[in-house]
Structure 1
Amino acid sequence: MESKATAKYVRIAPRKVRIVMDLIRGKNIADAFAILKFTPKAGAEVVEKVLRSAVANAENNFDMNVDNLYVKTAYTDQGPTLKRIHPRSRGQAFKILKRTSHVTVIVDEKH
């Protein structure tokens, strides 16, 4: 039985979150939290929050043992992009793309 948690419309680019996701995929929960705690990336905070939610879901909803959990899958999909305009010289306009992410973490018990 696996437990899942998702954070949608997070205001950080998916490219930046995927760097952190690659670090914790396949690790057990204790190692994943230790890695996220000492990773100096903006996405680490978001991923840690989602991972805590997935662990809480596993513990409370499915009666899983927290000590046996590991990160089965962790991925980030691109959400809607916010489009903004930055004025430039001679009346030109520069498009600024503020990207959003959908962060998903699935944890499972090792048998």
Structure 2
Amino acid sequence: MDRLAKLASQKAVVIFTNSTCCMCHAVKRLFYELGVGPAIYELDEDSRGKEMEWALAQLGCNPSVPAVFIGGKFVGSANTVMTHHLNGSLKKMLREAGALWL
């Protein structure tokens, strides 16, 4: 849990994913298209990935990936991120975290 918190706070936007997950790909693509360069952690390629997936599940992320953190705070997984994007609140969150300037 400590490692997860440390990684999640190192950059304005942090996404924990699996390299073979289609929803993870969609979420990463959304942020890139918005002009945000998130830190990406592919848990299936990390030796402690299973441990971090367990910690994400403890935070309430179900499924455990993709898990998005903005400004060091857990936002949610794909459904929550897409909801924020569609209602316009995602850009506001990104601006407040310093990840987006316009």
**Same fold at TM > 0.5:** no
Larger relative strand fraction: 1
Larger relative helix fraction: 2
TM-score (norm 2): 0.29
Higher RCO structure, 1 or 2 (CA under 8 Å, sep 6+): 1
- Structure showing greater radius of gyration is 1
